[in-house]
Amino acid sequence: MPASVSLSLSLPLSPTARSDPSVAASPFGAFRRSGLRFCGLRREVLSLRSLNSEASGRISPYPARGLSNKVLAAAKSNGSPTKGFDYDLVIIGAGVGGHGAALHAVEKGLKTAIIEGDIVGGTCVNRGCVPSKALLAVSGRMRELQDEHHLKALGLQVASPGYDRQSVADHANNLASKIRSNLTNSMKALGVDILTGVGTIVGTQRVKYGKVGFPDTEVTARNIIIATGSVPFVPNGIEVDGKTVFTSDHALKLEWVPDWIAIVGSGYIGLEFSDVYTALGSEVTFVEALDQLMPGFDPEIAKLAQRILINPRKIDHHTGVFAKKITPAKDRKPVLIELIDAKTKEPKDTLEVDAALIATGRAPFTKGLGLENINVTTVRGFVPVDEHMQVMDADGNLVPHIYCIGDANGKLMLAHAASAQGISVVEQISGNNNVLNHLSIPAACFTHPEISMVGLTEPQAREKSEKDGFEIRVAKTSFKANTKALAENEGEGLAKLIYRPDTGEILGVHILGLHAADLIHEASNAIALGTRIQDIRFAVHAHPTLSEVLDELFKSAKVNVGTSPSVSEPVAV
């Protein structure tokens, strides 16, 4: 059997709330030792007919290939809890992270319950990545239809394109509803008990839940996972009315399309909404506290993204400024935004716009959890955890049987990271040592074209190389040299590799271009599995495909070690 090695790597918290550096957000994702699950919406969701048929003894024409007899048996009984407990595992929060943990727990034969006080799916499904992708799908189509030069180059002629706002909004809402239903049904089909109400920790192995105005119910569990997620962060001085000054929660409803909208924050949330609004006809003004747009991205990628995604569109920007005060529109007066210098705090300007979207990051949703009952003090709202996601108390000691995953712990604030952390925790409580390699987790910004990344940025890599005493190199390839991209007339784009020439270790990969969000996974898989450049460069890619951008990228790297293909021991992370 091949040796199994666990790695523990973590990224520093990155402030995205420009007016409050204590609020962290990180666009990254997930890895599991026995298989990669980059989206928390796993294949069991799509195998419900098969599972229900199996559980009822009927033969289904749609075999659930991913579900073993063991899982099917567990679905019928939801396991048998450890003696003396109601459940083996209770999860507080039924977002993508809690869902991923629950399904994996059933696979492990654990009797599992999940507590949800709102609706299944959490932020990602209901107010985040799922409905936003529906809106971005519309904006992508609109851009194609509006680009006369692009269409002419392909020999196409299209009449003036238009859209129906309500139908666009319905598309996003219907998608969220469908995925939410799938998540709920997948847990029910596998036998997960869904307990409705607000969950509160009473002790290390006791949780109560209930609705406001009704008596609470207490249950016991051998282990507890906190998966309560996050909410939009709104800096002081900003008055949100949900109509003319709003967060991403409100924007996803697309109740109207303003002629001129200010977006406060130029991270991936702000960028994606700028893509949507400009495609639908709005003018956009970015307000960014730092001195450059897109501060969380690799600087070279950010510079290229500004040239492609910002400059040609109806977008202007103010950098190095805070929005000290934002007043909603009322009495036929516009939204007022008072800007001050981020360093000197001196007044800079006042903007009058039709609407303002607050995209200054997210804050953990951890109040009311009963953490004081287990001597846990949050840090800027985040629940402190170790590398195994086990909760740490105010004295720095591990709290037995209690774990925290996802946005609530602040390590990597993305849905697929939460799911991966949940799976890792289930492995831990099942007796299998498992530490998630956070540097292998990919991230994506679904603009047109897309941006994706995994690992370190070039400045981060150079800082690490100077500290640890090794050399780094950078390789780049252009989409303009890719046949498939040129066939699509989408040659704008760049792929960038940061690596160690002495070992062939991949430190980071950054892509801007057509389907970058799909392409990044070859790189993230390589980092997760410990695959070196001297090995992956011999992988074969179909021609002509966009994947050849990565093929050329790895082949262009100059490593100082052997260049013959070899069989490497897998690295479990």
Residue 288, marked binder: yes
Residue 160, marked binder: no
Residue 407, marked binder: yes
Residue 228, marked binder: yes
The residue from 171, 250, 541, 543 that is catalytic is 543
Residue 191, marked binder: no
In degrees, to the nearest 5, what angle opens at C-alpha 202 toward C-alphas 201 and 203? 95
Question: 314-352 burial, b for 16+ CB within 10 Å, e for fewer?
Answer: ebebbeebbbbbbbbbeeeebbbbbbbebeeeeebeebe
Torsion angle in degrees (nearest 10) through CA of 48, 53, 55, 56: 140
Instruction: Report how far residue 233's alpha carbon sits from residue 121's, in angstroms, rounded to the nearest whole number.
Output: 20
Residue 493, marked binder: no
In 394-552 the beta strands, taken as DSSP E runs, fall at: 398-404, 443-445, 450-455, 473-478, 494-499, 506-513
1 contacts 337 by C-beta, under 8 angstroms: no
Residue 187, marked binder: no
How would you classify residue 34: left for phi > 0, otherwise alpha for psi between -120 and 50, otherwise beta? Answer: alpha
Residue 499, marked binder: no
Residue 491, marked binder: no
Residue 40, marked binder: no
Residue 229, marked binder: yes
413-to-27, 112, 532 alpha-carbon distances in Å: 6, 25, 28
Instruction: Report how far residue 93's alpha carbon sits from residue 524's, in angstroms, rounded to the nearest whole number.
Output: 28
Place of tokens 């360093």: 343
Place of tokens 């840090």: 379
Q: What is the DSSP string of 256-289?
A: ---SEEEEE--SHHHHHHHHHHHHTT-EEEEEES
C-alpha neighbours within 13 Å on the C-beta side of residue 533: 28
Residue 270, marked binder: yes
Q: Burial, 58: exposed, middle or buried (Cβ in 10 Å; 0-12, 13-18, 19+)?
A: exposed
Helices (H), 481-547: 483-487, 516-529, 533-536
In degrees, to the nearest 5, what angle opens at C-alpha 474 toward C-alphas 468 and 475? 150
205-to-174, 199, 422 alpha-carbon distances in Å: 38, 13, 18
Residue 117, marked binder: no
Instruction: Report how far residue 233's alpha carbon sits from residue 468's, in angstroms, rounded to the nearest whole number.
Output: 36
Residue 372, marked binder: no
The pair of structure tokens assigned to 76 is 């019928």
The SS3 of residue 11 is coil
Amino acid at 234: V
Helices (H), 235-360: 248-251, 268-279, 299-305
C-alpha neighbours within 13 Å on the C-beta side of residue 317: 23
Residue 133, marked binder: yes
Instruction: Report how far residue 489's alpha carbon sits from residue 512's, in angstroms, rounded to the nearest whole number.
Output: 15
Residue 1, marked binder: no
**515 among known catalytic residues:** no
The catalytic residue positions are: 543
Annotated binding-site members for NAD(+) = 265-272, 288, 361
Annotated binding-site members = 133, 199, 228-230, 265-272, 288, 361, 407, 413-416
Annotated binding-site members for FAD = 133, 199, 228-230, 407, 413-416
